[in-house]
Amino acid sequence: MENADNDGKVILRKVLNVGGSSSLISLPKSWVKKNRIRKGDTLVLQEFPNGDLRISLPGKAHPSREVPEIEIDGMGDRELEAVIIGNYLMGVDYFRIITKLESLTTSQRKVINNALRNLLGFRVVSESPRSLGIKNVLDPSNFNIREEAKRLGILTFFMLKDLVQALKEKNLKAAKEIVVQDEEIDRSYLIMRRLLMIACNNAVVAKRIGIEDTSFCIVWSILLKKIETVADRVVEIVKLLPLVEFERIPGEVFNLFVRIGKHLLALFEGFLKLYYDEDFNGTFELKDLELFEELKNSLTAKEVEHSLNLQTAFALERICFLFEEIAKYVEEQIRDHIHYELYFK
């Protein structure tokens, strides 16, 4: 018996008893043909706590997903970039970008190459005046979700540490160099988003990247996004620094401002240890976050007391707001850690 919707996604099968001790179901003919299943092939069965049973293909990361051709005539630069990144995140392994005009323009090729720089594994593998073939060349087995999240966390921690040091030294040149570090974080974040997207529906890929239960893909997705967002907030702070007239800030206001940065750095370091340091036996006290709030309020009071010029006061307030956002991300992750402690441990 077979009953499918218009897309062929819902299929019913009767269970057959064979030899009194075995039960069989038949595989959908269209699925067998599409994936070239042959007699004697091995399939992967994954059993879930809710009783579901999932069938996956072994031997390759996931069934090859290809979009043969994408015509880009009439697309703007942003739309073209979005098409490339979108195919990457959705797990597409190969596609060709084509034009019906005489050739791809220099501007189009520049947008494509700039987009590919941040997409680990995506490479141009064929090229002609009117087309580019883009292919994924990475094996998911080269990545482990826990190690990659730890790496992103450490990279972000050092971005934050360099920022606090630049603030302490009033070194705007050093602060500007921090922005470059964000590019590596973006690349790593995008490859893990891609793999998590695939892993949600493929137990083989999930296991290869270190996820035993695909239901936890969403947990890792949220964690990675929070870490990547912290890095983005650091970049925003760096861009605000030229507005701050450091030499005109009273010493007690400046010292309090630096103290807030140092306390935030300590909070983020505590978060990393809690998640990734196997030898860490301490606890993370949410009262540490209350101290952060007290420091921020004290800074606002000092700004008013010393009547800072509007531009500097605005910049400091905006920076403190971004610091506060980072602190909130840390608090959310600590609470999530309580919920998922058994999984992470």
Nearest to 84 by CA among 62, 117, 125: 117
β partners of residue 98:
71, 131
- CA 187, 192, 194, 195 torsion-angle sign: positive
Residues 106 and 175 reside in one and the same domain: no
Residue labelled with tokens 């296991």: 207
Task: Determine if the pTM surpasses 0.75.
Answer: no
Cα–Cα distance for residue pair 246/165, rounded to 1 Å: 14
Residues 131 and 179 reside in one and the same domain: no
Residues 112 and 221 reside in one and the same domain: no
pLDDT at 257 over 90: no
**Quick one: pLDDT at residue 35?**
79
pLDDT at 208 over 60: yes
Give the three-class secondary structure for 91: coil
Residues 242 and 328 reside in one and the same domain: yes
Residue ranges in the chain assigned as alpha helix (H): 29-34, 77-89, 106-117, 145-169, 172-176, 178-199, 203-208, 217-240, 251-276, 287-306, 310-339, 341-344
The answer to whether the beta carbons of residues 62 and 198 sit under 8 Å apart is yes
Residue 44 lies in a domain: no
Residues 90 and 150 reside in one and the same domain: no
Model pLDDT for residues 264-274, shown as the tens digit of each residue:
888 888 888 87
Give me 328's structure tokens.
Answer: 């909130």
Give me 182's structure tokens.
Answer: 């964000």
Residues 72 and 215 reside in one and the same domain: no
Across all residues in the chain, what is the average pLDDT?
A: 82
More confident residue, 211 or 141: 211
Q: Which domain holds residue 307?
A: 142-344
Confidence of residue 332 (pLDDT cuts 50, 70, 90): confident
What's the domain count of the chain?
Answer: 2
Work out the angle at residue 272's Cα, subtended by the Cα atoms of residues 147 and 149, and round it to the nearest 5 degrees: 25
| Most confident region among 57-66, 103-112, 205-214 by mean pLDDT | 103-112
Cα–Cα distance for residue pair 284/334, rounded to 1 Å: 8
Give the three-class secondary structure for 128: strand
Confidence of residue 19 (pLDDT cuts 50, 70, 90): low
Confidence of residue 115 (pLDDT cuts 50, 70, 90): very high
Model pLDDT for residues 153-196, shown as the tens digit of each residue:
899 999 999 999 998 888 888 888 888 889 889 988 999 999 99
Model pLDDT for residues 81-90, shown as the tens digit of each residue:
999 999 999 8
Angle, helices 217-240 vs 145-169, to 10°: value is 20
Domain boundary among 138, 169, 184: 138
Residues 211 and 313 reside in one and the same domain: yes
